[in-house]
Structure 1
Amino acid sequence: MRTHWDRIRHAVGFELIALVLITLVLSQGFGFDMAKIGLLGIVFSVIATVWNYVYNLWFDKAMLKYAGHVHKSTKHRMVHALGFELCLLWLTLPIMAWWLEIGLWQALVMDIGLVIFYLIYAYVYNLTYDKVFPLPETQTA
């Protein structure tokens, strides 16, 4: 299993890269003020970083309990990413609508776009992270 500090490095790296990408896309693509989007992105990053840590710890413990290991197959990675994003959507949707002064429907459409981005991003980031920072037990094998 990953260490406490490895999980922190994982979560912070994930959020910093995503924050830059999302701020640029939403400010340029949708015409929102970059400062307003940036601040919203920071708030969402804090929420997502805490959730990322908790969710990954929970997911790894569940994998250990039910599969006996924490090595993720493609199926595990897809379930992992989908579960993470659906829970995050539930947490952030009302905040987005309020902050951007838009309706819940418009916020949902925007958030679904973000979910699609993050589903792909989470899969690629986690796969890359596991290759760059392999689990300690796989380094000795």
Structure 2
Amino acid sequence: MSAPTKTLRERIFHAVCFEVGVLCVASPLFAWIMDVRVVDMGILTIAIGLIAMAWNMIFNALFERAESRFGLRRTLIVRICHAVLFELGLLLVAVPLAALWLNIGMVPAFLLEVGFALFMLPYTVIFNWLYDTLRAFVMQRPSRETS
């Protein structure tokens, strides 16, 4: 049996919870690793999160246009190219921003962004697994309106 379709309201809730989780976990962790203030890392995390969301919309629109124009199907190779190109585009903006904001060189900023990308992979899997597990539990509970 498949899960019920998510409403726009739930999708927004999911996205906000995801980003708040990133902020609460990644900011202190990366502030400690980089030996910078948590507030500075938090602001950088928020800025890069907003940039990533905007880039996601722009990049996906451009990628879908390219898919259509070149008749691409979403094979594993196309999906890998999509992910790699998305991350490279994000790095082009995030690395200079991190270097400027944290007053560090481009190499440490690049390493920070690589570390952040590596952090996001398991975080995304774990967050979505927990969300889906909790969602299934909540959806199975009888409604209070019917009791």
- Normalising to structure 1: TM-score of the pair? 0.64
Q: Which residue of 2 aligns with 1:134?
A: none
In structure 1, C-alpha distance between the alignment counterparts of 2:80 and 2:89, rounded to whole Å: 14
* Structure 1 letter corresponding to 2:104: I
Distance 1:55 1:43, change over 3 A: same
* Structure 1 letter corresponding to 2:31: S
Deviations 1:73-132 (A, max 9, x none): 3322211111011111111211111111111221122222223344x369859x98xx9x
* Structure 2 letter corresponding to 1:81: A
Q: CA RMSD in A?
A: 3.4
State the 1:17 CA deviation: 4.6
Q: Which residue of 1 aligns with 2:109?
A: 107
In structure 2, C-alpha distance between the alignment counterparts of 1:91 and 1:39, rounded to whole Å: 15
Moved over 4 A (4+): 8-17, 121-125
Tell whether 2:51 aligns with 1:27.
Answer: no
Structure 1 unaligned regions, length at least 5: 132-141
In structure 2, C-alpha distance between the alignment counterparts of 1:19 and 1:95, rounded to whole Å: 17
Tell whether 2:57 aligns with 1:49.
Answer: no
Tell whether 2:41 aligns with 1:37.
Answer: yes
In structure 2, C-alpha distance between the alignment counterparts of 1:124 and 1:85, rounded to whole Å: 17
SS of the equivalent of 2:36 reads: coil
Q: Which residue of 2 aligns with 1:67?
A: 72
Bigger Cα Rg: 2
Distance 1:16 1:62, change over 3 A: farther
Distance 1:94 1:79, change over 3 A: same
* Structure 2 letter corresponding to 1:67: L
SS of the equivalent of 1:78 reads: helix
Per chain length, whose mean CA-contact separation is higher, i.e. which structure has more relative contact order (CA < 8 Å, sep 6+)?
1
Structure 2 unaligned regions, length at least 5: 1-7, 133-147
* Structure 2 letter corresponding to 1:82: V
Identity, % of aligned positions:
29
SS of the equivalent of 2:104 reads: coil
Tell whether 2:98 aligns with 1:96.
Answer: yes
* Structure 1 letter corresponding to 2:110: L
In structure 1, C-alpha distance between the alignment counterparts of 2:108 and 2:58, rounded to whole Å: 29
In structure 2, C-alpha distance between the alignment counterparts of 1:82 and 1:122, rounded to whole Å: 18
In structure 1, C-alpha distance between the alignment counterparts of 2:35 and 2:17, rounded to whole Å: 27
Distance 1:77 1:121, change over 3 A: farther
